[in-house]
């Protein structure tokens, strides 16, 4: 039986999300696999920051940390890294660039190992870019002048949902984000905005809101707010 999935708006490996990660590890093997692949284009100092956050959180949770330096296609196809995913209780993809994350992991040995562990019951979480990349269709956050602005293909684990993370902040940063993405949402996909310090937990079609703020179901008729404890059923 497949494991639980968490789509997190923000806060990976921070104290504010400790209870969520503890819940995802409940009754699981105490092995926490952590990947900062989405940040793979950031500086060495930033990557070390992500590593320290991940390992500190695992120590607080009293579980083994397996932070894997998977930052490009070569490392994503490293058999040693794929092997280290075996036995995971929770696998976590942190934030950064969702396009880079999806393109790096797609069809790789590491991604196949992640899916295999999840299908055999391990919990799987994605935060911000990590949440976006788990879907089939990835909403555009910004239109970049002179860049390829075609729709981004995610990793395809969740074909029926599209995620806008940091939703409470995104509305201020990008006022047209809802309208622009609703126009491009594929048929059969439910578009949701997940506030910071908040998560949708469940999968693949039945979800419950966890955390401090709200999840928003976005349609052409407006926004429906879901607070902690409320459920969402997707197609």
pLDDT, mean of residues 176-185: 78
Return the higher-pLDDT residue of 141 and 198. Answer: 198
Strand-pairing partners, residue 233, are 206
- By DSSP bridging, strand 206-211 and strand 231-233 are antiparallel
Instruction: State the number of CA atoms in the 13 A half-sphere of 208 facing the CB.
Output: 6
User: What's the whole-model pTM score?
Assistant: 0.94
pLDDT, tens digit (0-9, with 9 covering 90-100), for 143-180: 454 455 566 789 999 999 999 999 999 876 766 777 77
To the nearest whole number, what is the mean pLDDT of the chain? 93
pLDDT of residue 202: 97
| Confidence at residue 145, expressed as pLDDT on a 0 to 100 scale | 40
Q: What are phi and psi of 200, to 5 degrees?
A: -100, 125
DSSP 158: B
**Which domains, and CATH codes, for the chain?**
5-144+153-233 (3.40.50.880)
Q: Return the percentage of the chain with pLDDT > 90, whole number.
A: 82
- Phi, psi dihedral angles at 134 (to 5 degrees): -70, -15
The string of pLDDT tens digits covering residues 77-124 is 999 999 999 999 999 999 999 999 999 999 999 999 999 999 999 999
Cα(8)–Cα(210) distance, integer angstroms: 9
């Amino acid at each position: 039986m497949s494991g639980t999935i968490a789509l997190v708006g923000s806060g990976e490996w921070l104290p504010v999300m400790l209870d969520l990660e503890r819940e995802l590890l409940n009754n699981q093997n105490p092995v926490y696999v952590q990947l900062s692949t989405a940040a793979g284009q950031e500086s060495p100092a930033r990557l070390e920051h992500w590593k320290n956050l991940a390992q500190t959180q695992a120590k607080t949770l009293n579980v083994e940390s397996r932070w894997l330096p998977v930052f490009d296609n070569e490392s994503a196809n490293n058999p040693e890294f794929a092997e280290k995913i075996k036995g995971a209780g929770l696998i976590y993809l942190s934030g950064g660039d969702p396009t880079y994350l999806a393109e790096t992991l797609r069809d790789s040995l590491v991604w196949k190992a992640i899916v295999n562990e999840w299908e055999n019951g391990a919990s799987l979480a994605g935060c911000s870019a990590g949440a976006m990349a788990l879907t089939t269709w990835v909403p555009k956050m910004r239109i970049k002048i002179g860049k390829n602005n075609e729709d981004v293909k995610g990793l395809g684990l969740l074909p029926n949902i599209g995620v806008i993370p940091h939703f409470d902040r995104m509305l201020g940063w990008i006022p047209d984000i809802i309208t622009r993405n609703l126009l491009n949402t594929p048929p059969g996909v439910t578009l949701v905005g997940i506030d910071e310090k908040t998560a949708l937990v469940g999968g693949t079609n039945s979800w419950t809101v966890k955390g401090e703020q709200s999840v928003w179901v976005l349609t052409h008729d407006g926004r429906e707010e879901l607070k902690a404890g409320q459920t969402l059923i997707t197609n």
